[in-house]
Amino acid sequence: MVKGSKISIIAGLLALMLIVSACSSTTNQPANGNGEQQQGAAPKNQSFELWLGWSATINNDSLVQKYWKEQEPGVEVILEATQGDANTALNLKLNTGGFKDAAIFTHSDVVKNAMKNSNTILSLEQYFEMPDKYPNLAAIPKQYLEALKDEDGHIWSIPTWFDQNPDDPWPGWASVAWMVRTDVLEQVGMTKDDLATLEGVEQYLRKATQLKDESGKPLNGMGFLMDPNDTVGWNDENAVLSAFGVTTGGAGGVIPVEQKNGEFVLLYDDPQYKEAYKWLNKMYREGLIDPEVVTDKKERYKEKNKAGRTALNVGTFWNIDTSVWETLDGPTEPGWYYEPIAFPKIEGVDAIGASQVVNPYPGYDVYINKNSKNLEAILTFFDYSLNPAPEQQQVINEGPAGLYWDWMDAPLGKWKYIDESYSAARNSGDVAQKSTVTPELYMLSSYNNEWYPWWNYGEVDKQGSLKTQQFTKAIGEMGGVRSAHTYDMVTAKAGGLWEKYAPELENLRKEYRAKLIMAKDDAQFEESWTQFTDALEKRAHWSELKQEWQQSYDALVQANGSF
């Protein structure tokens, strides 16, 4: 997903890297029995096979691979994809001699342990300490490398697809927000500044529900989708919970968690969780929430948004359906007027909760067969792919600037495709055609917050399509995105309580959210809340789950440290 640059400085640097690489190509040959590399002559052929730990349509004559081979870094990369389940395929491969040269899999302790236990892979820690020969491998943030070390100090993979700046991470496609219709806001005589507080939002909803839409029906105030297929970390109510200071995002852990006043607070124990639903219940009872919110299906919800039936939406803007603005070239339909607003300030809430937890740590690992005869080619290629230039993911994905795409204004600005035949195949929607131009292996590189290609794609048919990029940028800066910590990554222990009771925990969340929102008065709300907390204990064994969570967290810190 990232980009490239055609300015002479970067071109010069890349050329210099090639010269340095060529001049220092004293090559490491296959490992000896101790996993140490034997020194020898440079390889005759800069080529290696890369096994992908996922299914893909492969065409090893793609234009991008041809560039790698013939231009930079001067390495032929021959791809092989996985068929079927990745873990099954991995075990089969390792039990039948292993892969030939290198393999890339999504980051996983299961994969790492299988690779290490196979005794077929090379330990790589020395290659991250050679800045003269592999400057980009040496530039990988040390905290990532430390996290990869085993108890003996060995690193068994080259990490890829990590954030170059872990303290200022790229927020990803942040989308959980409060989205207001600015045309309705104008009609009621208010501005976005008036919505800075929860009281201001309530005032807006009361005024908006007095208006009528184009069909003559009263506007719905607040809308959100209660999708029966959503999850604890991905649902529209999380926009409200976040405003109330509740962290709802995670980084692969079993439950959203936040550290408050030195203690871990798991989602349902946060007192603000109750307060958020109490406010939603208040809005529902006042008629300021769409009365069909509990029963609406996804398509019906989208239809209402397209028709302009709703004054304000909370949740992910993907559920609104971005086509309501992306298909427009101007203010011709209600969808044009959607804009995100800052999360409203709430008394007693110092900071909004994280609705998106960004894991800057490596997403993929490259393993190398200790008997590979192409070690130098592998290291040369990944030193190239991990160049920390902001646009390098674009370079890996699409080639360098000036070849098939180029900048529209200045480097690290807008870009567009400049090769018509490349663009036609790339954007055809046909995976076979796409594979003739690019293997789309952005994950061989890294990324940062300075520039992201698909926020800066400049050639669009409709002006509305630029809004999604603008929205996600704005939302990512509102405070609801943070970097992951160790406690965000506590996973279910095999055969443990979380594995057993997590489905029931989800059932309870979905069952009681409707009861809490639709309670007819305060007494019924409190009754439903008591029933919910009782059910957490009796049906989902909440206290036992928390104990196991703490044990798993402690074990994770013991094994990998905390961050």
Concatenated DSSP letters of 157-185: SEEES-BS-TTS----S--EEEEEEHHHH
Cβ-based burial of 299 (10 A; exposed 0-12, middle 13-18, buried ≥19): exposed
pLDDT of residue 60: 98
Q: Are 184 and 165 in contact (CB under 8 A)?
A: no
Could you tell me the pTM of the whole model? 0.76
Q: Are 75 and 46 in contact (CB under 8 A)?
A: yes
The rounded distance, in Å, linking the Cα atoms of 137 and 129 is: 8
Q: How far is CA 465 from CA 167, 322, 361, 406, 461, in A?
A: 30, 8, 31, 20, 8
User: 76-80 and 47-52 as β-strands: parallel, antiparallel, unpaired?
Assistant: parallel
**Closest C-alpha among 127, 109, 120, 139 to residue 552:** 109
Q: Split the chain (563 residues) into runs of 10 and give each run's mean pLDDT.
A: 33 32 34 36 71 95 98 97 86 89 91 92 98 98 92 95 90 94 98 98 98 92 94 95 96 91 95 98 98 95 96 97 95 97 96 93 96 97 98 98 96 96 94 97 96 89 90 93 90 89 94 97 98 98 97 88 80
Q: Are 78 and 372 in contact (CB under 8 A)?
A: no
Q: Determine phi and psi for 90, rounding to 5 degrees.
A: -65, -50
Q: Are 79 and 60 in contact (CB under 8 A)?
A: yes
| DSSP-assigned letter for residue 289 | B
User: 263-266 and 257-260 as β-strands: parallel, antiparallel, unpaired?
Assistant: antiparallel
